[in-house]
Chains A and B, each alone.
Chain A
């Protein structure tokens, strides 16, 4: 079996599962945010359950339109707080203690290897980087799981992606995943598990792995996953709040497709409007002027991303034609960025350094695009209207390319500014 099949089997109480099989499985953690939880709460009440299945395994995180951007958003956030109080939930995160959910939960050791996690947010697939099975579902799925601790799944077929060789300078997990989505398309892994491996993955730090698994959904994948290794163990040691299990894929596991990439040929990659699969080498896009740069999100809002952007921007200024918004994904990352002097570097450069929020990534707040404006962002989607006006545009990149673009006011590679 593959690692995905083994985790699903273990949680369904079965010796073995096969692709296509429908199972009911136990979940280790259920999460929802200020946009999706209000529907989950409403639906949960309809079930008429006396209690939630486990008060310490339901995470409610106001992060999308929080800090509360308007009265309606505030009402939605209040529903999370009220429900958390009513059921005495252990994993409610108030503004000031919260973070972008998919950065916060691994950071706090609340998801661990071998877990089965569902979340009413499509980027729940992020935790595959820890060797967990995690996937996005709808609010009603979450409502049902809050009552029963279970969820139904169709066991996915697995596609294997092997990355050989070493990464070029400044090329990161973001470039690998954008390149891969460009190769297979936005439905290239539809309903499937995406298992990443190879020399470049073994040497990829956890931050880059989280970025890769985060964007499995942008290829239509059910989950992204990486078999745990020494990097995983180092990450979870001292962090994991629960016991964990390290699963591997068997040598004779079956894969529906195997894709191989030579990393020496993967360039700094940018997704052009309006699909993540519309990829081009960054160096071919130097004529594209940029109005706004966003560094942050569940995809690239971790401390490593902050450091990478700061390294490029240090001692330089954001172009007079451009605004730059830097959003550390959690309070802990924010604090580290302050202590390491990164916040100062960004502010000195003329950038905004914001409190954690999903904010502009989904066109919520804190950096919305006007008609005709163009952004480069380290986020995960560039659909029509994603960051604001339906006639605005979003390009996706890694933090170094985003920072270099901020300096030059056009899409640029780090080599052009350093």
Chain B
């Protein structure tokens, strides 16, 4: 799987309240949530972001609340993947569970500038910066997470187990 697109850059500790403020959590409709994605980190982001874009962030992306609305809002806004130096653990779980591709790479987080075109070779964990003509490596995805991805997310994975039991 190859993911190619334009990047938006964010800093350290982007919390889930910044990704999707709680004032919008009286719904879990993905399209509604997408209208406010990253709003408290950058008020204009929902109007600037385009289908196929990617988010690049520094450390501890998705810290704070367990709200799955955060990766849902990102995915529903058409963002293909998030690359960060590190992810908060519940966000990390949630992203794999719902099928939002995420990649950990300190080098990519440091070197990619906003607006760079990048291409991610998801299966090999290689991030190519087409604008800067550089290549970075993402941390390998643990085998179990690969299993989740190939099943199509946690619900599909659980379905198989429930049927088998």
Contacts and interface: CB of A to CB of B under 8 A. Distances in A.
Contact of A386 (B17, B60, B157): B17
A72 B33 CA distance: 14
Given A122-B64, A385-B40, A275 B94 contact: no
Nearest to A187: B60
Interface stretch (B44-52, B84-92, B131-139): B84-92
Nearest to A152: B144
A65 B155 CA distance: 27
Contacts of B13: 186-187, 275
B23 A363 contact: yes
Interface string B81-122: 000001011100110011000000000000000000000000
B126 interface: no
A383 B66 contact: no
A144 B158 contact: yes
B22 interface: yes
B155 A46 contact: yes
A127 B23 CA distance: 27
A139 B161 CA distance: 18
Interface in A143-162: 143-144, 147-148, 152, 154
Nearest to B143: A22
Contacts of A136: 66, 90
Contacts of A190: 60, 86, 88-89
Interface string A108-122: 000000000001111
Contact of B64 (A144, A364, A381): A381
B65 interface: yes
A220 interface: yes
A65 B18 CA distance: 19
Interface stretch (A35-43, A229-237, A240-248, A323-331): A35-43
B26 A186 contact: no
Interface string A31-64: 0000110110011001111000000000000001
Nearest to A358: B22
A18 interface: no
A386 B97 CA distance: 26
B59 A140 contact: no
B26 A48 contact: no
Question: Interface size for chain A: under 10, 10 to 19, 20 to 34, or 35 or more residues?
Answer: 35 or more
Interface string B26-69: 11100000000001110100000000000000011001111111
B89 A222 contact: yes
Nearest to B163: A48
A47 B41 CA distance: 35
A154 B130 CA distance: 35
Contacts of A64: 22, 25
Contacts of B88: 187, 190, 220
B76 to A, nearest CB: 13
Given A35-B25, A144-B155, A138 B60 contact: no
Contacts of A386: 17, 22
Contacts of A120: 66, 68
A138 B66 contact: yes
* A-B pairs with lowest CB-CB distance, top 10: A72-B26, A138-B94, A187-B60, A138-B68, A122-B66, A362-B22, A136-B66, A140-B97, A144-B158, A385-B40
Interface of A: 22, 35-36, 38-39, 42-43, 46-49, 64-65, 69-70, 72-73, 76, 119-122, 124, 136-141, 143-144, 147-148, 152, 154, 186-187, 190-191, 217, 220, 222, 275, 362-364, 381, 383-386, 388, 390
Interface of B: 13, 15, 17-18, 21-23, 25-28, 39-41, 43, 59-60, 63-69, 72, 86, 88-90, 93-94, 97-98, 142, 144, 153-155, 157-159, 161-163
Given A383-B17, A384-B41, A390-B39, 11 more contacts: A43-B155, A46-B155, A69-B26, A122-B64, A140-B98, A140-B154, A141-B154, A381-B17, A384-B17, A384-B40, A386-B17
